[in-house]
Amino acid sequence: MAWVIVGIPILWGIWITLSKALILFRRRGHPGAARQQNGASMNAPTVARSERTPFWSALFTDRRIAPAVGLGFTSGIPFLLVYATQSAWLSDIGISIATIGLLSELTLAYKFKFVWAPFLDRYDPPLFGRALGRRRGWIVVAQLSVMAMLAGIAFGDPANWLAWTIAFSLALGFAGATLDLVIDGWRITSVRPPEKQAVLSSWTEIGWRLGNLAAGAGALFLADRIGWRGAYLGMGALMSVGMLAAVLAPEPPSDLRPHQPRAGFVDTVWAPIRELLTRLGPMAPAILLLIAGFRMPGYVASAMAIPLFKHQGFSNTDIATVTKLFGFWIGLGGTFLAGALIPRIGMLPSLLIGTVAGSASHLSLAYLAAHGGDGGAAFWTFAITVGIDGFAYAFASVVLITYMSTLASTEHAASQFGLLTSLCAFPGSVLAGLSGFVVERTGFTWFFVWTSLIGLPVALLALYVWVKVGLSDEAAPQAAANS
Tell me the mean pLDDT in the region 103-123.
Answer: 84
Q: Tell me: do 10 and 71 sit in the same domain.
A: no
Q: Tell me: do 416 and 453 sit in the same domain.
A: yes
- 3 state DSSP class of 29: coil
The band of 196, judged by pLDDT with boundaries at 50, 70 and 90, is: confident
Is residue 345 in a domain?
A: yes
Say whether pLDDT at 29 is over 80: no
Say whether pLDDT at 365 is over 80: yes
- Which residues lie closer than 8 Å to 306 by C-beta, 6 or more apart? 319
Q: Tell me: do 285 and 350 sit in the same domain.
A: yes
Out of 262, 287, 313, a domain closes at 262
What pLDDT, on a 0 to 100 scale, did the predictor assign at position 169?
93
**Which residue range forms the structural domain that includes residue 61?**
54-262
Is residue 391 in a domain?
A: yes
CA 386/CA 392 separation, integer angstroms: 10
**pLDDT tens by residue, 84-112:** 788 888 888 888 877 877 777 788 888 88
Supply angle C-alpha 210, 211, 212, rounded to 5: 90
Is residue 360 in a domain?
A: yes
Contact (Cβ atoms closer than 8 angstroms) between residue 323 and residue 209: no
The band of 259, judged by pLDDT with boundaries at 50, 70 and 90, is: low
CA 304/CA 463 separation, integer angstroms: 29
- Compute φ and ψ for 155, nearest 5 degrees: -90, 10
The band of 28, judged by pLDDT with boundaries at 50, 70 and 90, is: very low
Tell me the mean pLDDT in the region 363-371.
Answer: 90
What pLDDT, on a 0 to 100 scale, did the predictor assign at position 129?
75
Query: Mean pLDDT for the chain?
Result: 80
Q: Tell me: do 77 and 170 sit in the same domain.
A: yes
How far lies 339's CA from each of 14, 19, 196, 346, 386, in Å?
A: 17, 18, 9, 11, 21
Q: State how many domains the chain has.
A: 2
- Which residues lie closer than 8 Å to 90 by C-beta, 6 or more apart? 99, 100, 103, 158
- 3 state DSSP class of 413: helix
What would the DSSP string read from start to end of 283-333? Answer: GHHHHHHHHHHHTHHHHHHHHTHHHHHHHTT--HHHHHIIIIIIHHHHHHH
For residue 462, how far is the Cα from the chain centroid? 18
CA 136/CA 120 separation, integer angstroms: 11
CA 249/CA 245 separation, integer angstroms: 6
Say whether pLDDT at 447 is over 50: yes
Tell me the mean pLDDT in the region 246-275.
Answer: 75
Contact (Cβ atoms closer than 8 angstroms) between residue 81 and residue 172: yes
Q: Tell me: do 322 and 449 sit in the same domain.
A: yes
The angle that helices 379-407 and 162-190 make with each other, rounded to 10 degrees, is 60
Contact (Cβ atoms closer than 8 angstroms) between residue 55 and residue 199: yes
Strands (E), 48-120: none
Q: Tell me: do 409 and 461 sit in the same domain.
A: yes
What pLDDT, on a 0 to 100 scale, did the predictor assign at position 470?
64
Q: Tell me: do 175 and 312 sit in the same domain.
A: no
Q: Tell me: do 87 and 16 sit in the same domain.
A: no
Q: Tell me: do 220 and 290 sit in the same domain.
A: no
What pLDDT, on a 0 to 100 scale, did the predictor assign at position 263?
62
Q: Tell me: do 167 and 277 sit in the same domain.
A: no
What pLDDT, on a 0 to 100 scale, did the predictor assign at position 256?
61
Among candidates 36, 35, 51, 47, which has minimal Cα distance to 473? 47
**pLDDT tens by residue, 35-85:** 333 333 333 333 333 345 565 566 666 778 889 999 999 999 998 898 778
Residue 388 belongs to domain with CATH number: 1.20.1250.20
- Compute φ and ψ for 282, nearest 5 degrees: -65, -20
Between 210 and 473, the higher pLDDT residue = 210
Is residue 44 in a domain?
A: no
Out of 262, 295, 311, a domain closes at 262
* Burial (0-12, 13-18, 19+ Cβ within 10 Å), 333: middle
Out of 206, 229, 262, a domain closes at 262
**pLDDT tens by residue, 130-158:** 778 888 999 999 999 999 999 999 999 88
Is residue 45 in a domain?
A: no
Between 391 and 299, the higher pLDDT residue = 391
What pLDDT, on a 0 to 100 scale, did the predictor assign at position 37?
34
What pLDDT, on a 0 to 100 scale, did the predictor assign at position 373?
61
What number of other Cβ atoms are within 10 A of residue 266's Cβ?
A: 8
CA 155/CA 175 separation, integer angstroms: 18
Between 251 and 149, the higher pLDDT residue = 149
- Fill in the amino acid letter for 256: L
- 3 state DSSP class of 155: coil
Q: Tell me: do 200 and 85 sit in the same domain.
A: yes
Dihedral sign, Cα of residue 156, residue 157, residue 162, residue 163? negative
What pLDDT, on a 0 to 100 scale, did the predictor assign at position 468?
85
Among candidates 56, 25, 27, which has minimal Cα distance to 345? 25
Contact (Cβ atoms closer than 8 angstroms) between residue 237 and residue 214: no
Tell me the mean pLDDT in the region 341-354.
Answer: 89
Among candidates 350, 341, 380, which has minimal Cα distance to 364? 380
Is residue 43 in a domain?
A: no
CA 243/CA 207 separation, integer angstroms: 14
- Which residues lie closer than 8 Å to 287 by C-beta, 6 or more apart? 280, 407, 465, 476
What pLDDT, on a 0 to 100 scale, did the predictor assign at position 262?
58
Of these ranges, 337-346, 364-373, 431-440, 448-457, the one predicted with the greatest mean pLDDT is 448-457
CA 116/CA 53 separation, integer angstroms: 34
Contact (Cβ atoms closer than 8 angstroms) between residue 14 and residue 311: no
Is residue 133 in a domain?
A: yes
Tell me the mean pLDDT in the region 336-364.
Answer: 90
Q: Tell me: do 231 and 277 sit in the same domain.
A: no
Between 212 and 378, the higher pLDDT residue = 212
For residue 196, how far is the Cα from the chain centroid? 17
CA 309/CA 304 separation, integer angstroms: 9
Is residue 46 in a domain?
A: no
Between 140 and 432, the higher pLDDT residue = 140
CA 279/CA 420 separation, integer angstroms: 15
Say whether pLDDT at 17 is over 60: no
- 3 state DSSP class of 239: coil
CA 267/CA 133 separation, integer angstroms: 23
- Which residues lie closer than 8 Å to 99 by C-beta, 6 or more apart? 90, 162
What pLDDT, on a 0 to 100 scale, did the predictor assign at position 20?
46
Q: What pTM did the predictor assign?
A: 0.77
What percent of the chain shows pLDDT beyond 90?
Answer: 32
